[in-house]
Amino acid sequence: MIQQNVVKVGMADLNISSDGGTLRTTGLGSCVGLILFDERSRIAGMAHVMLPSSEIARESSINLAKYADTAIPELIERMKGAGATTSRLIAKMAGGSQMFAFAMQSDAMRIGPRNVESCKEMLMRLDIPLLGEDTGGNYGRTIEFDSTRGILLIRSVQLGIKEI
């Protein structure tokens, strides 16, 4: 997909596009790339969520984009500021891989699956429908969201290109 207006979203970052652009993030392993989209206004947002909960934060100033429980509300606020309507938001997501195999499957080592669970819990709590996902597995992904078509493009070395 080649578009001139590409908004890059880094790790533990979030951003919006309100002018028909494409949102892109790379390096999704255990991280989750979460898309929120208001189709009527064509306002899209993407968060690159690294961890499930800000309760484990050790930094004095929390990076809201880093945690599922803080990134999603922050993304909604930014989108509303650009003219999106919360009741029209839909979600798509990708990532949440279990990148490494461990002999003991402690909850602390399940970062990818916990990120997915936490994002889904927040979406449910906020009454935002999840219309598509490509999560799990043990491989990395790069995603692009085309806000003109409402399509999430997922690229992985193992499985090629997929659209949801």
Phi, psi of 113 (to 5 degrees): -60, -35
Spatial contact of 144 and 26, defined as CB atoms under 8 Å apart: no
Q: Strand pairing partners for 43?
A: 38
Query: Can you read off the two tokens belonging to residue 124?
Result: 């449910």
Q: What's the burial of 80, exposed, middle or buried (CB within 10 Å: 0-12/13-18/19+)?
A: middle
Tokens 């999704």 appear where? 28
**Topology of the domain covering 6-163:** 60s Ribosomal Protein L30; Chain: A; (3.30.1330)
Name the residues annotated as catalytic.
Answer: 31
pLDDT at 4: 64
pLDDT score, position 20 = 84
Q: Report in angstroms the alpha-carbon separations of 51 from 32, 39, 42, 65, 121.
A: 9, 28, 28, 9, 14
DSSP assignments along 116-144, one per residue: HHHHHHHHHHTT--EEEEEE-SSS-EEEE
* pLDDT by position in tens, the chain (length 164): 454 689 999 999 999 998 889 999 999 999 999 999 999 999 999 999 999 999 887 777 899 999 999 999 999 999 999 999 999 999 999 999 987 665 555 555 689 999 999 999 999 999 999 999 999 999 999 999 999 999 999 999 888 999 99
State the pLDDT at residue 85: 97
- Enumerate the domain spans of the chain: 6-163
pLDDT of residue 94: 98
- The model's pTM is 0.92
pLDDT at residue 1 in the model? 45
